[in-house]
Structure 1
Amino acid sequence: MGENMKLLEQTVKTILTTESMSWLAKPPFLRPWGKKADVLFAGPWVGDLVWELMGWQGFLRKLSKSYERVIVSCRPGHEFLYQDFTLEFVMHELRGLPDEERLHNIENPEELERVQSTIPSDVDHLKPHGLPSPQSQSFIPLGEPSEEKKYDILFTPVLQDASGRGWGPDKWMYLIAILRSQGYRVGCIGDALRTYALKADFTDLRGATLQQTIEHITSANLVVGPANGTTAMAALCKTPHLVWCGQTPTRKKVDLSLRYERTWNPFGAMVRVVEQDDWNPKVDQIVTHIDSFFQKSPER
């Protein structure tokens, strides 16, 4: 039993922490001449929210038209992203460090074994893979606006990383103080484990379900924060968003800028991208952009 578990852990690391499938190495059923089964099993999706939103759920939606049935394996609460084309799900609780479509430092490999045991033998099994082109995906707008959930500004105070990239809590507190002094209705969204627990004059909406967060974003006038899953979500909600980004270990800043302005903006939502190498723009610079937005869109 112990040897089998070690082998499983090695397999997990190989499958989920490397580029296991590129678009130059598609499985046969994705090739034009490939034979498809009647059923597609997709997942488990183990990566981060940005890539699930912009490189997975849209691809599955378009691919679903080629199958009689689609089964999606995802995290609890994320089935909302797929319910327009399937109601069959295998939920998973895989824990680790999400990175694009991969999962590093997986903590419970036995959960992967459980999910794999649910995959029928006569299906096409699509594993997480590289980022597909916009042309190979089909997006739908997320959420319906509600006056009860309307805020002028939603911000997502993502934690600084180990290298100090991004804002610390003092900058977020300064921004909130300025926005509230100007009369803006402000709310805070995001993953409670990956954002600062700030104490100030705003509504804390962190920790809401994915569907609830989408409803808040759809109803807001503006979403503000560093490039992350929450700001990417704003594009699919057709909500204006102000995003800052910079260089990362794996890509140049221009790539992220273009992604948020074009590639990851399928409905042409209003977006302003602020580029800063250390992901640390001045608060006054962000306030200027916010004020400029509301001068152009004065309704509040």
Structure 2
Amino acid sequence: MSRPDASQVLIFPPYVGEFGWELMNWQGVVRRRLVRARRGSAIVAVTADRRALYEDLTRLTSINVSLVAVDISRLAGRPSEDHRIDDRGQPIEPHALREAVRAVMRDAGMEAVGRIEWPDYRGRLWSTGGDEQLFRRLGRPRRPRWDVLLVPRARDTSPERNLPPAWWDELQDRLRGLGLSVGTYPPGLGAAIDALSASRLAAGGSTGGLHLAALCGCPHFVWGPDDGQRWTRIGMSNRQRYETIWNPLGTPVRYAALGWRPSTADAAEGIVAALTLLGRTAARPRGRLVDRVSWLARRQAARLWARPATTGWCPWRWREFARARLT
């Protein structure tokens, strides 16, 4: 039997970075590249808990796409952006990370025949505007079950940003005291998608589950640091990340600079205001027209600056004006 032509086989390795980064900076890359492929075949390595993100790929293009289950649980380090960090908080070198991922794929029986489409492993951002990524709505038709779905941050990285269970219990009590039905983000990707699909609003501190809300079309309220803190190579604020740059479907969202550990009173006040303004109803299942228009305007402004500065296509002063005043 002849071996396949390596130039005609695309191989996508398993994603080893943060969940939010996989949602907004990788699975869309895979989808876009496969749609553009005109011949050959593709192999996409996925972990069992993320398979739902990629299941549509087998029906998406005319080329043959196979999903292969892999186990990354024994990889060294912890997820950070699109890569991993060691116990000292230092990034694992991209070359070492690629070799470790190659070993994972070999253990899963994946032949090393093909062109591997690697993530950057240095924090590169891919555009969410359609030219580099293609997104699909993950939400499912569900009747509203909860007014508010709370999404607690529970990560090993920067654990000081996590809030204790007692804090969340107190917040639930406050919201229920106002007559609201309240749920909690469940474990498992499929269950989380179902829960977000059945909620009028999701709420919590900045975390991957709220990026999932954006792809499920679930309006959400997010708190975190103020605009003085900038993230990634392009220097976006968390507000810009959630409301505009990592909101490719235009899901209604409000970001509040309450810090990582707000009082339950402040969190509840913001949630109630967002629920009133953005919450899904039968009359507006996808939000208000004014929010959609505002999102489109901010997305256009972000195109002036939310890309590497080395492109040099837009004068610096224009870029900074669009960053500070228009996005």
Q: Tell me the TM-score normalized by structure 2.
A: 0.66
Q: How has the CA–CA distance of structure 1 residues 72 and 169 changed in structure 2, closer, same or farther, with 3 Å as cutoff? A: same
Question: Which runs of structure 2 are paired with 1:129-208 in the superposition (5 Å)?
Answer: 129=120, 130-135=124-129, 136-147=132-143, 150-159=145-154, 164-189=160-185, 206-207=186-187
**Quick one: distance in 2 between partners of 1:92 and 1:105?**
22
**Quick one: distance in 2 between partners of 1:250 and 1:289?**
23
Aligned with 2:221 (options 230, 242, 245): 242
Aligned with 1:90 (options 63, 68, 76): 68
Tell me the CA shift for residue 287 of structure 1: 1.4
Write out the 4+ residue segments of structure 1 that deviate beyond 4 Å after TM superposition: 109-112, 160-163, 247-250, 297-300
2:266 partner letter: Q
**Quick one: distance in 1 between partners of 2:54 and 2:158?**
34
> What is the match of residue 9 of structure 1?
none
1:230 partner letter: G
Percent of aligned pairs sharing the same letter: 28
Q: Where in structure 1 are there 5+ consecutive unaligned residues?
A: 1-35, 190-205
1:132 partner letter: W
**Quick one: distance in 1 between partners of 2:266 and 2:47?**
37
Q: Where in structure 2 are there 5+ consecutive unaligned residues?
A: 1-5, 59-64, 88-98, 283-327
2:231 partner letter: R
Match of 2:256, SS state, is strand
Q: How has the CA–CA distance of structure 1 residues 292 and 110 changed in structure 2, closer, same or farther, with 3 Å as cutoff? A: closer
1:257 partner letter: R
Please tell me whether the aligned partners of residues 152 and 162 of structure 2 are also in contact (alpha carbons under 8 angstroms): no
**Quick one: distance in 1 between partners of 2:184 and 2:159?**
24
Q: How has the CA–CA distance of structure 1 residues 212 and 133 changed in structure 2, closer, same or farther, with 3 Å as cutoff? A: same
Aligned with 2:241 (options 238, 241, 259): 259
**Quick one: distance in 2 between partners of 1:150 and 1:56?**
31
Tell me the CA shift for residue 230 of structure 1: 0.4
Question: Which runs of structure 2 are paired with 1:1-300 in the superposition (5 Å)?
Answer: 37-67=7-37, 68-86=40-58, 88-95=66-73, 96-105=77-86, 113-116=103-106, 118-129=109-120, 130-135=124-129, 136-147=132-143, 150-159=145-154, 164-189=160-185, 206-207=186-187, 209-246=188-225, 251=231, 255-276=237-258, 278-296=259-277, 297=279, 299=281
**Quick one: distance in 1 between partners of 2:158 and 2:135?**
34
**Quick one: distance in 2 between partners of 1:39 and 1:173?**
50
Q: Summarize deviations over 1:204-256 as a string: whole Å, max 9, x none.
A: xx32x212211210221000111111000010011100111227998389522
Q: Tell me the TM-score normalized by structure 1.
A: 0.72
Alpha-carbon RMSD across the aligned residues, in angstroms, is 2.9
Match of 1:164, SS state, is helix
**Quick one: distance in 1 between partners of 2:10 and 2:170?**
49
Q: How has the CA–CA distance of structure 1 residues 145 and 219 changed in structure 2, closer, same or farther, with 3 Å as cutoff? A: farther
Please tell me whether the aligned partners of residues 165 and 280 of structure 1 are also in contact (alpha carbons under 8 angstroms): yes
**Quick one: distance in 1 between partners of 2:218 and 2:202?**
7
Match of 2:48, SS state, is coil
2:145 partner letter: K
**Quick one: distance in 1 between partners of 2:20 and 2:192?**
14
Please tell me whether the aligned partners of residues 159 and 168 of structure 1 are also in contact (alpha carbons under 8 angstroms): no
Q: How has the CA–CA distance of structure 1 residues 75 and 249 changed in structure 2, closer, same or farther, with 3 Å as cutoff? A: farther
Q: How many residues are treated as equivalent by the alignment?
A: 244
Q: How has the CA–CA distance of structure 1 residues 111 and 85 changed in structure 2, closer, same or farther, with 3 Å as cutoff? A: closer
Q: How has the CA–CA distance of structure 1 residues 163 and 81 changed in structure 2, closer, same or farther, with 3 Å as cutoff? A: closer
